[in-house]
Amino acid sequence: MVHKPIKSVAVIGAGISGVSAGAHLLRQGFEVVVFERSDVAGGVWKFDPRTGREPESSPTLYPSPPSSLKTQKSTDGFPNHRQHNKTAEDVLLDHAPPGPCYAGLRNNIPTPVMRSTLLRWPKGTPDHVTHNEIESYIQALARETGTHAVTLYNTRVEEAVKNPETGTWQVKSRTLAHKSEKEEASLGEISFHDKDWTFDAVIVAAGHYHVPLVPAIPGLAEWKRKFPSRVMHSKNYRFPEAFKDQNVFLIGAGVSSLDIAKELEHTAHKTYQSSRGGLFDLDKALLPSNSERVPGLLAFKLDEGKGFDEEEEHGSLDNTAPIPGTIHLTDGRVLSNIHQVIVASGYQTTYPFLKGLESDTLPVEEADGEIVITADKCVTHNLHKDIFYIPDPTLAFVGVPYYTSTFSMFDFQAEVVARVYAGLAKLPSRSDMEGEYAARKAKGDKGKAFHSLIRNQVSYMDEILEWVNEDLKEGANQEKRMKGVDEEWYRGYEQFKEKSRRLIPVDSSQIQQPIASRYYDGDEGGAQK
């Protein structure tokens, strides 16, 4: 399937996926350029006290923006209407929006099973560490493997398009530069350098956690419009102290929601966590003492004539006053006296630089054999093993799966890509890959479940190892066989699953806990992103 020899590869992103991809490609002798829009490697583990742009406080933009505004989106996926009055901070936020890392974030996957095959954690590293230590690990991996030296920081990819005539990828990048080293640059001290590149292959390692997903709940947009500082996405959560003595309503019951609830245990007065009962919602038994699980939402309603002018664009409230309104739940219950709403409903998967391969309007059910992202912004279509773009494997993805031991899994995927591009492993025929993919779709998994490895991470790796090593079974070729994770990893993974199982209530209907639970022996670390 990969017809012409591959010599040069672009890697988009310098989180753990991109750094791993760059490292394994360099080991195989490729010319590599890694593009990272932030100023350091680390991905979601880089803590930035700034918060990114929220959707505009308008019912047409909150929930998530519609496709008609696609051309107006900034790089965080939200429309930017301040084109004529932009400040230096606006420009910086547009170029590289802060990630979702909050001050107390720690890993939930133990470090022994959260590592690259190319770098062990320092001796004595605890199972659960801070985001600072994890960011440092990624940066050490980048330095020691040579990936740091081939990474262009402050550089984002604007476009990556295959040229059918030359068989190469045309990549357009934009690099931000400061004319001074001052912490706060003025608009005149910021400049951009655009460049066109040509590569034989492209690896997308951009991650999941960039564009917030905001659900369409009646009245939520009105709450956001009237009191914009009181409704936020979890991507902009940073410190629990901001919610002292408040009543907080969390939308969603996944990892981020549980993390925030745990952080607010000794700060907030009361936390409500709304769950629709999805299979990937974490069990309510894991919630802290001041939190309560409530059912799904019907609507948000504002009271009339209580503390704000209905004609005002933005209402103003005393910092200690609750939002003058009520939250209506599917069981008939009505909540009031809520100070803050945090939308912890996840993120949209989007690769806006893949021109022609992403659609804001095509329903997921109508995905054809070429599209990568449809309007659902969740499933990444037409990938072999969640890695290779079936119509053209010179486009590959590292980091697509959910609910997995991310560092180890993405390192594994990165080595697979490097080996295929180096000719050490051969992809099946396009028709065979299409047949396997069609059979997978026929199973009926929807949304994140389609990419979930929660129940089959080991079998996934074993199956790929058998394929990758198929032609390296005899003689001297055995030394070239891909080894994958080591026995220490397998032992640690089994211990982790067993420890997790002890936390699951026997009557739980959820399926995520064996891979996503994070509360071990009173540990109060945060969740892995």
pLDDT at 330 over 50: yes
Of these ranges, 311-325, 349-363, 444-458, 493-507, the one predicted with the greatest mean pLDDT is 349-363
The predicted model gives 228-257 an average pLDDT of: 95
Of these ranges, 6-10, 79-83, 206-210, 524-528, the one predicted with the greatest mean pLDDT is 6-10
pLDDT for position 184: 62
pLDDT for position 447: 87
When pLDDT is cut at 50, 70 and 90, the band that residue 279 belongs to is confident
d(CA 373, CA 358): 5
For the CA atoms of 86, 91, 94, 95, what is the dihedral angle to 10 degrees? Answer: 160
pLDDT at 432 over 90: yes
pLDDT for position 58: 44
**C-alpha distances out from residue 91 to 54, 192, 206, Å:** 15, 11, 20
Give alpha helix (H) positions in 174-239.
220-226
pTM: 0.91
CATH 3.50.50.60 domain extents, the chain: 8-48+101-209+348-489, 214-345
- Give the CATH fold of the 8-48+101-209+348-489 domain: FAD/NAD(P)-binding domain (3.50.50)
The dihedral region occupied by 43, where left means phi > 0, alpha psi between -120 and 50, and beta the remainder, is: left
d(CA 406, CA 19): 13
pLDDT at 315 over 70: no
Stronger pLDDT, 368 or 446, i.e. the higher one: 368
pLDDT at 306 over 70: no
pLDDT at 37 over 70: yes
The predicted model gives 109-134 an average pLDDT of: 95
The predicted model gives 271-282 an average pLDDT of: 90
| 59-90 tens-digit pLDDT | 445 776 544 344 444 555 544 444 456 788 88
For the CA atoms of 249, 254, 255, 257, what is the dihedral angle to 10 degrees? Answer: 0
CA atoms within 13 A on the CB side of 522: 0
Homologous superfamily of 214-345 in CATH?
FAD/NAD(P)-binding domain (3.50.50.60)
Give alpha helix (H) positions in 331-429.
406-421
85-89, 96-100, 226-230, range with the lowest pLDDT: 85-89
Stated as kind and residue range, the H or E segment containing 152 is strand 151-152
Stronger pLDDT, 84 or 491, i.e. the higher one: 491
| 138-165 tens-digit pLDDT | 999 999 999 999 999 999 999 999 999 9
Q: Quote the mean pLDDT of the chain.
A: 87
pLDDT for position 514: 45
Phi, psi of 438 (to 5 degrees): -60, -40
Q: Is 20 exposed, middle or buried (0-12, 13-18, 19+ CB in 10 A)?
A: buried
pLDDT at 316 over 90: no
When pLDDT is cut at 50, 70 and 90, the band that residue 182 belongs to is low
Residue 193's beta-bridge partner residues?
175
pLDDT for position 318: 80
Q: What letters, b where the CB count within 10 A reaches 16 and e where it falls short, cover 368-401?
A: eeebbbbbbbbbbbbbbbbbbbbbbbbbbbbbbb
When pLDDT is cut at 50, 70 and 90, the band that residue 317 belongs to is confident
Stronger pLDDT, 93 or 251, i.e. the higher one: 251
**Percent of the chain with pLDDT strictly greater than 90:** 69
d(CA 436, CA 240): 46
Stronger pLDDT, 191 or 526, i.e. the higher one: 191
pLDDT for position 517: 42
- 3-class DSSP assignment, residue 463: helix
pLDDT at 219 over 90: yes
d(CA 253, CA 453): 19
- 3-class DSSP assignment, residue 191: strand
pLDDT for position 515: 42
Q: What letters, b where the CB count within 10 A reaches 16 and e where it falls short, cover 504-524?
A: beeeeebbbbbbbbbebeeeb
Q: Quick one: DSSP state of residue 366?
A: G
pLDDT for position 472: 84
Q: Which tokens sit at 7?
A: 């010599």
pLDDT at 126 over 90: yes
| 501-521 tens-digit pLDDT | 766 666 665 554 444 444 434
- 3-class DSSP assignment, residue 445: coil
d(CA 147, CA 494): 31
pLDDT at 134 over 80: yes
Query: Are 13 and 75 contacting, i.e. CB atoms less than 8 angstroms apart?
Result: no
Of these ranges, 255-259, 429-433, 497-501, 504-508, the one predicted with the greatest mean pLDDT is 429-433
Q: Is 122 exposed, middle or buried (0-12, 13-18, 19+ CB in 10 A)?
A: exposed
Strands 388-389 and 291-294: unpaired
- Long-range residue pairs from 317-326, CB within 8 A, at least 24 positions apart, any chain: 317/227, 317/230, 320/245, 322/247, 323/223, 323/227, 323/230, 325/219, 325/223, 325/300, 325/301, 326/300, 326/301
Strands 8-12 and 201-204: parallel
Q: Which tokens sit at 169?
A: 């990828």
When pLDDT is cut at 50, 70 and 90, the band that residue 304 belongs to is confident
The predicted model gives 215-227 an average pLDDT of: 94
When pLDDT is cut at 50, 70 and 90, the band that residue 467 belongs to is very high
d(CA 418, CA 355): 24
Per the listing, tokens 């940066």 go with 139
Residue 297's beta-bridge partner residues?
329
Q: Which tokens sit at 190?
A: 């910021």
When pLDDT is cut at 50, 70 and 90, the band that residue 308 belongs to is low
pLDDT at 224 over 50: yes
CA-based nearest residue to 159, from 354, 422, 443: 354
Stronger pLDDT, 497 or 364, i.e. the higher one: 364
CA-based nearest residue to 204, from 412, 4, 388: 388
